[in-house]
């Protein structure tokens, strides 16, 4: 089963007893906008999970961990339980931000050992435009029991990234827009640039002109030449560990089997004074 499912797939299964649909809409800089949009209209039966209140831990005062630190596994498992998600539940996530926020939940569920989680293609606007039902009624939540089995191999920490520089251990992928990667502009974080050696693949380029996710073949073509083998270890980061997640998903669709997330990402990297910073483009590695 693929990780991205079409609207028709969701429409056909939305009332099945083992399905929980999660609205993940969120706008950076407008922290209440997603919840307000959900309250106004959502897929019938959907529950809401907030990027900053549910899918992230509080920001550390020293800046370590980045702008959206990973939530504690036990805390997140308890939150999932309270909205009716068990280990047997099929979870469908959607947003209206190109799949970025839904992919964060997708990655977190995988990280907690849950395989049956999917991102709905197109998002909420596409759902409405297709004439599918919407509702303002909020589901009565019946708690379930979710037990986490944390997959530590999906994650790398700052010291691992630092120690890997220049060794070829990881293939680094920066998921931000090119001007931020090159250090020409930085509207969010206090320092511009990228981790030395990282290649730039803007996360939104994983979608086609119509806003839907590219096929597995198109994703493979997008990442052609990134690594010598699909078994190479790839570490993906962005600004705060959110928009890296759609690239993690896309790399998996493209056939790469060892893809990890640097969750703290750029905002964590620059919180350590000694970490090196690069600007401009990186030369593509040459085959030896």
> What residues are annotated to the active site?
238
CB neighbours (10 Å) of residue 165?
17
The gap between the terminal CA atoms of the chain, to the nearest Å, is 37
Helix (H, G, I), strand (E, B) or coil at 206: helix
Phi, psi at residue 47, to the nearest 5°?
A: -105, 165
CB neighbours of residue 190 within 10 Å: 9
CB contact burial 240-255 (16+ within 10 A = b; e otherwise): bbbbbbbbbbbbbbbe
162: Cα within 13 Å, side-chain hemisphere: 14
How far from the centroid of its chain's Cα atoms is residue 25's Cα?
13
User: Among 125, 142, 130, which residue's Cα sits nearest to residue 9?
Assistant: 130
Q: Could you tell me how far CA 34 lies from the centroid of its own chain?
A: 16
Q: Which residue has the tokens 């198109």?
A: 218
CA pair distance 203, 264, nearest whole angstrom = 17
- Written as one string, the DSSP assignment of 79-133 is HHHHTT--TT-EEEEE-SSTTHHHHHHHHHHHHTT---EEEETTHHHHHHHTT--
Dihedral Cα 32, 92, 239, 76, nearest 10 deg: 80
């Amino acid at each position: 089963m693929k990780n991205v499912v079409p609207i028709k797939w969701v429409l056909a299964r939305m009332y099945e007893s083992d399905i929980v649909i999660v609205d993940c809409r969120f706008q950076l800089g407008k922290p209440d906008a997603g919840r307000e949009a959900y309250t106004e209209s959502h897929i019938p039966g959907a529950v809401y999970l907030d990027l900053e209140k549910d899918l992230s831990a509080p920001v550390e005062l020293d800046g370590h961990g980045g702008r959206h630190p990973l939530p504690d596994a036990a805390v997140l498992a308890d939150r999932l339980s309270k909205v009716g998600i068990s280990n047997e539940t099929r979870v469908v996530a959607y947003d209206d931000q190109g799949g970025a926020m839904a992919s964060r939940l997708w990655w977190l569920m995988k990280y907690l050992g849950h395989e049956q989680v999917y991102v709905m293609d197109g998002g909420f606007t596409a759902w409405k435009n297709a004439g599918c039902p919407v509702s303002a009624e909020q589901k009565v939540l019946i708690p379930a029991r979710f037990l986490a089995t944390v997959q530590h191999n999906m994650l790398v920490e700052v010291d691992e990234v630092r120690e890997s520089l220049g060794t070829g251990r990881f293939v680094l992928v920066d998921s931000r827009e090119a001007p931020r990667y090159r250090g020409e502009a930085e509207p969010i974080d206090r320092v511009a640039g990228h981790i030395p050696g990282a290649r730039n693949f803007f996360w939104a380029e994983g979608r086609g002109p119509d806003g839907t996710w590219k096929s597995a073949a198109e994703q493979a073509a997008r990442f052609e030449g990134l690594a010598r083998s699909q078994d190479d270890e790839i570490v993906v980061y962005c600004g705060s560990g959110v928009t890296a997640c759609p690239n993690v998903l896309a790399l998996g669709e493209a056939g790469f089997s060892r893809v990890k997330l640097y969750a703290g990402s750029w905002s964590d990297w620059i919180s350590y004074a000694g970490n090196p910073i690069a600007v401009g483009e990186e030369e593509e590695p040459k085959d030896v």
